[in-house]
Amino acid sequence: MNSDLFLNIGGPHVIHEDFGDEVVVVHLETGRYYSFNQTGSEIWNRVSHGILVKDLIDWMMNNFAGDAGRLEAEVKTFLEQLQEETLVAPFPAPVQPAASGKSFEEKTASEKAEFQTPQMEKFTDMQDLLLLDPIHEVDEAGWPHPMEEAGGGKKE
């Protein structure tokens, strides 16, 4: 992933709530929903306000202890997952990005939390509710027949 990308929430189809140690995200178009562990939640909270990837990684390195190469790789992998799920998307960077630049206070090694791999739990059990019912037949006026009349069986 390009470190100069400016990422933000993918659009109004993504709704989310931060519970501190866990974020719950719902994708209204796919029927999928997600939860992130604490590291994933930290990343999400910053991306949800819009941020350059390189600024996010700087912020993570300032707040979490661990191997810098591993941290960068795992944060980028997580961001790629978010992008694949269309939860986040790249946007043109604002002239002065809201969360851009090293505006944070440098932390000492003892103040940093141990870096844990950011993780996403994906739930697909509700996707079927959003599947379009097939239209088997329509009447002379153009109204679709109910599934049972059209031989499609009863709906749950």
Partner 1 sequence: MNSASEPRPIADSAVFFDELGECFQKACAMAGGCVVRRFTVGGLGLELQFAGRALVEGIVPAFGHLPAILPPDQPRLAVRILDSMSTGVNIPSPPWSSDDYRERGEVRGFNDQNFRTAFSIGSGVLNMFHLRRAEAVLWLRDASRLAYWESGAPLLTILNWWFGQKGRQLVHAAAVGNEDGGVLLAGKGGSGKSTTALSCLDSKLSYVADDYCLLEPDPMPRVHSLYNTGKLNRDNLEQFPQLGELFFAAGCRLEEKALVFLKDFCPEKLSGGFPLKAVMLPRVTGTPRTSLVSISAAAGLKALAPSTIFQLSGAGADAFAKLTRLVRRVPCYQLNLGTELDEIPLTISRFLGGT
Query: Quick one: three-class SS letters along 113-135?
Result: EECCCCCEEEECCCHHHHCCCCC
123 binds partner 1 (CB under 8 A): yes
139 binds partner 1 (CB under 8 A): yes
Give the nearer residue to partner 1 in terms of CB position, either 36 or 59: 36
Q: In what order do the strands lie in the sheet with 51-52?
A: 51-52, 6-9, 88-91
122 binds partner 1 (CB under 8 A): no
Give the nearer residue to partner 1 in terms of CB position, either 19 or 103: 19
11 binds partner 1 (CB under 8 A): no
Rounded Cα–Cα distance for residues 145 and 143 (Å) = 6
Residue 25, judged by CB atoms within 10 A of its CB (0-12, 13-18, 19+), counts as buried
The CB-of-11 to partner 1 minimum distance in angstroms stands at 12
Applying CB under 8 A, the span of 19-27, 51-59, 79-87, 112-120 interacting with partner 1 comes to 19-27
**CA–CA distance from 47 to each of 131, 135, 149, 153 (Å)?**
30, 40, 49, 45
106 binds partner 1 (CB under 8 A): no
Contacts with partner 1, residue ranges (CB under 8 A):
12, 15, 17, 19, 21-24, 26, 28-29, 31, 33, 35, 123, 125-126, 129-149, 154-156
